[in-house]
Chain A
Amino acid sequence: MLSDKELQDINAELAHAATKASASVDALNIVQRHQGWVSDEAMKDVASMLDMTADELDAVATFYSFIFRRPVGRHVILVCDSISCYVMGYNPLLDNIKNRLGIAFGETTEDKRFTLLPISCLGACDRAPAIMVDEDLYGPVTAETMDGILEKYK
């Protein structure tokens, strides 16, 4: 069930959408902002609001890396695995993060603080290797700067 606030926000988006389906990304973002991720149930509710099938909406949701279809921690670390970052030291950086947090890709730390996910190009090739934590971009990230970054997120 969607909360009243979510319904209100989605309806506000729908009001200025050209077609109902064109508001799908915004609607999913609204749900994610409130619930942290998008569950199957939420997906069905949103789909019926947009006159789409849950399947069609799922196609949109699973296409975008920023929409989470499984529960995530309080903060999400996205590690860019595209070519520039790869060349500039993606592997040591990833090993560093994995060792530090004790999780692999797709996993969440036990205290639900961090979730680690790969992402295609963050558009920060000049600052490679880059990572993104929640909505903040960092780069170039080294083993030394990593501490400072993670400290900011509780």
Chain B
Amino acid sequence: MPNMTVTVDGKKIEVPMGSTILEACTAAGSRVPTLCHDNKLHPFGACRICLVEVEGTPRKFTPSCTTPATDNMVVKTTSPGLIEARRMVLELLLIKHPLDCPVCDKAGECSLQDLVHEYGLGPSRFDPEKGYLPPDYESAIIERNISRCILCGKCVRICDEQNAVGEWAFTRRGTRARISTDFDRPLDCEFCGECVEICPVGALTTRQFKYKARSWNLEGTASVCNYCGCGCGVSYETREGRIMRVGPARSNYLCTKGRFGWDAVHHAERLTTPKMRVNGELVDCTWDEALSIIATNLKVIKSRHGAEKIGGLGSVRTTNEDSYVFQKFLRTVVETNNIDTLARLKTPKGLNTTFFSGELNKMASHEVILVLDKNVGEINPLTGIEIVRAVNKKDRKLILVNDEFNKFNKIATVVLPTSTVNALENLVKALSSGAGSEESKRAAAMLKAAKNVAIIVPAQLSDNEFTLIRDLAGKLPEVTYYPLVRRSNFQGSLDMGVMPSYYPGYRKIDETSTADFAGLWNAVLPETTGMNAVEMIKAITQGKLAALYIMGDDPAGSDPGLKGILQKLEFLVVQDIFLTETAKLAHVVLPAASSTEKSGTFTNLERRLQQVNKAEEPIGESRPDWEIIQDIAKKMGGSMKYGSTRDILAEIRSVVPAYKDLAFGACWAREKSPLAGMADDLSLTSDSIMKQEVITAERLLFSSGMTITRSHEIGTIRHYKIEV
């Protein structure tokens, strides 16, 4: 696009055609105050505080956020007249705004407060009309204080433009205008809290943070959300070492789980001490006792039955470092390859072999987006948001496969109201022969005409669906896949080799790789590949597995049928943050630190390496997973000597080629995977275990996983259904 020259406060700058005056001013480094403007949203022009002087315009002042700049425009951002005009705007806003800053939770980060302070307003010339509407305490999670509202409309717009929910709207008009929900009823939405985040004043505040601390008391720790594969950047805001609230790390989107669900780590039932089974009862014990018992038992079982009768189930929510140390411990100290995660049962087939995820922030570069999973916004909320942004901001076309109704129906160009398999079959048919229903034909025509297509791959795929997606992609010029990944560090656990037949970095276990890794780790490694999760469970029933070490997973909780099977074990160790159903069956329970209480790295579904930082001290006696495992390894005679997670990451970088020069925040390239384009399948299937989805009437967004169900804040909205 050609550039144009704009002079701002005497400074000449080049800006692209179509820029607004505000963008030109920002580019020139001149600050123009704004209340209703946000880069995430379409310009609105509600507050009139961003007035500037444009030379030669008949009107004296121009709102800069909505006015396009023109070539050779001369703009002034400050002048006595402008200051007077802005003061007037503020004075008018303050007629109704209650000056309850001392008890308002927004104080300190309130745009109105800052501006009034900056422009130094004195007593008002108008009769004030304060507190004309009482605050709304009816809604869950979010409180609405209409009197404080300045009607900037940011909440209304972000809920519509970014979330496609449209929970807020202006009702009435003139002096009686206000933001309101459906007929002023309590909120019934996704409760993402984006409206609270974007509110420039204290009209929308959260119940969770209400009167907890003042904003200037908080210290931020940048980290990564631990609730789904998106891995959104969060900032844990602490006061005196305890988290008070969670905000986005870089004004990015956060869903309700990321923003409000963190309070699960403050749950009263957190494990604080190690426990061991004495006379059938779990009793508290010291770390030394617990670790000694584990070391002794594992050694005894190993010498009595052989190492192949010991197995380990890793976690997909612990850090890369934890997973790496876990698999290394089992391989080099216990000397078994029986390592797996149960989450592989709930994974898209072909992940990391056929389906490599594109980068989420590039979703909008695709002309057509094909959504094959109607629950995309519930499983990976950020993926859902990126779809809405692509449609609303860039006018991308959306083909939605949905046999029900949800928010994506409202923005979809074509809806295929059928199951995923049927829709895929119809699309393939329509693409090859041109036959099919009206919708399929329209969708096929759109796909055919598009330069590039993004396909949202469902979180679970049948063989048939998998082949159909590949058939469909074969008929399209350029396809980017966006597989849905439920758990935060699933990708990382695969990368770290928490699998029975692959070493870290997807090196298949064979003679050469075993020799390589034996050299790298300076250890004796088992020669055969191990049992996968399904085989391990089967082996327990057949008495072929005597001991199991479970780190951060709750098989008995997700499939009650496994309870009886796990009880058959001679020795079960569970390391978790809660006394889960599985932990209740264990012989030794070890309290682990939660993701807010330790450092490390996650690898999200885009294969992006992300830094997790410690915001709080571990609760009680709990410790990070890798430290626990290292201590057990030491007691069993292993030679792990990591001083911190950095040492572990350094070793990961030397062992896993994809991580070698991978910077924080960068995604590792698909070419770095030895499995790219291979027929290997990293997902597992089973007709007996984890087959039943626990069917609840609850929304996936509010109740997926055992941590989120322990969040008090999310508990208050769990009864809300998807609105139809």
* Chain A residues near B (Cβ < 8 Å): 40, 43-44, 51-56, 58-59, 62-63, 120
Contacts and interface: CB of A to CB of B under 8 A. Distances in A.
A44 B188 CA distance: 14
B137 interface: no
B171 A58 contact: yes
Interface of B: 160, 165-174, 180-183, 409-410
B180 A63 contact: no
A58 B410 contact: no
B181 A55 contact: yes
Contacts of A40: 183
A55 B173 CA distance: 14
B410 A51 contact: yes
B169 A63 contact: no
Contacts of B169: 53, 55-56, 58-59
A56 B180 CA distance: 9
Contacts of A54: 182-183
Nearest to B723: A53
Contacts, number: 41
Contact of A58 (B165, B183, B409): B183
Contacts of A53: 165-167, 169, 182
A118 to B, nearest CB: 11
Nearest to A63: B173
29 contacts: A40-B183, A43-B183, A44-B182, A51-B409, A51-B410, A52-B166, A53-B165, A53-B166, A53-B169, A54-B182, A55-B167, A55-B180, A55-B181, A55-B182, A55-B183, A56-B160, A56-B169, A58-B169, A58-B171, A58-B180, A58-B182, A59-B169, A59-B171, A62-B172, A62-B173, A63-B170, A63-B172, A63-B173, A120-B174
Nearest to B181: A55
Nearest to B176: A62
Given A52-B166, A53-B166, A55-B166, A62 B171 contact: yes
A55 B171 CA distance: 8
Contacts of B166: 52-53, 55-56
A130 B182 CA distance: 35
B360 to A, nearest CB: 26
B411 to A, nearest CB: 9
A88 B173 CA distance: 25
A62 B172 CA distance: 5
A95 to B, nearest CB: 24
Contact of A55 (B168, B172, B174, B409): B168
Nearest to A53: B166
Contacts of B409: 51
Nearest to A56: B169
A52 B170 CA distance: 14
A114 B170 CA distance: 29
Nearest to B183: A40
Contacts of B182: 44, 53-55, 58
Contacts of B172: 62-63
Contacts of B183: 40, 43, 54-55, 58
Given A44-B182, A54-B183, A62-B173, 10 more contacts: A52-B166, A53-B166, A53-B182, A55-B182, A56-B166, A58-B180, A58-B182, A59-B171, A63-B170, A63-B171
Nearest to B409: A51
Nearest to A64: B173
B410 A59 contact: no
A154 B226 CA distance: 68
Contacts of B181: 55
A53 B165 CA distance: 8
A51 B413 CA distance: 13
A120 B165 CA distance: 33
Nearest to A60: B169
Which of B165, B173, B182, B410 counts the most chain A CB atoms within 10 A?
A: B182
A44 B160 CA distance: 18
Nearest to A43: B183
B136 to A, nearest CB: 14
Contacts of A62: 171-173
Contacts of A44: 182
A89 to B, nearest CB: 23
Contacts of A52: 166
B572 to A, nearest CB: 50
A51 B173 CA distance: 23
Nearest to A54: B182
Most chain B beta-carbon neighbours within 10 Å: one of A44, A51, A59:
A59
B39 to A, nearest CB: 24
Contacts of B174: 120
Contacts of A120: 174
Most buried by A among B167, B171, B172: B171
Contacts of B165: 53
A52 B169 CA distance: 11
A108 to B, nearest CB: 20
B77 to A, nearest CB: 33
B149 to A, nearest CB: 15
A44 B410 CA distance: 15
Nearest to B174: A120
A42 B44 CA distance: 30
Contacts of A43: 183
A152 B406 CA distance: 50
B248 to A, nearest CB: 25
A105 to B, nearest CB: 13
Contacts of B180: 55, 58
Nearest to B167: A55
Contacts of B170: 59, 63
A109 B86 CA distance: 47
Nearest to A40: B183
A120 to B, nearest CB: 8
A53 B163 CA distance: 13
Contacts of A58: 169, 171, 180, 182-183
Nearest to B411: A51
A43 B181 CA distance: 13
B114 to A, nearest CB: 29
A100 B430 CA distance: 71
Nearest to A52: B166
User: Closest 7 CB pairs between A and B?
Assistant: A59-B169, A53-B166, A55-B169, A62-B171, A54-B182, A55-B182, A62-B172
Nearest to B172: A62
B321 to A, nearest CB: 45
A44 B182 CA distance: 9
A58 B179 CA distance: 11
Nearest to B405: A48
B144 to A, nearest CB: 13
A62 B178 CA distance: 11
A40 B168 CA distance: 16
B458 to A, nearest CB: 25
A62 B409 CA distance: 26
Contacts of A63: 170-173
Residue among A44, A52, A63 with the highest chain B CB neighbour number at 10 A:
A63
A51 B169 CA distance: 15
Residue with the highest number of chain A CB atoms closer than 10 Å, among B167, B173, B174: B173
A135 B547 CA distance: 84
B414 to A, nearest CB: 14
A53 B167 CA distance: 7
A43 B185 CA distance: 14
A138 to B, nearest CB: 24
Query: Which interface residue of A40, A51, A56, A120 has the most chain B CB atoms within 10 A?
Result: A56
B177 to A, nearest CB: 8
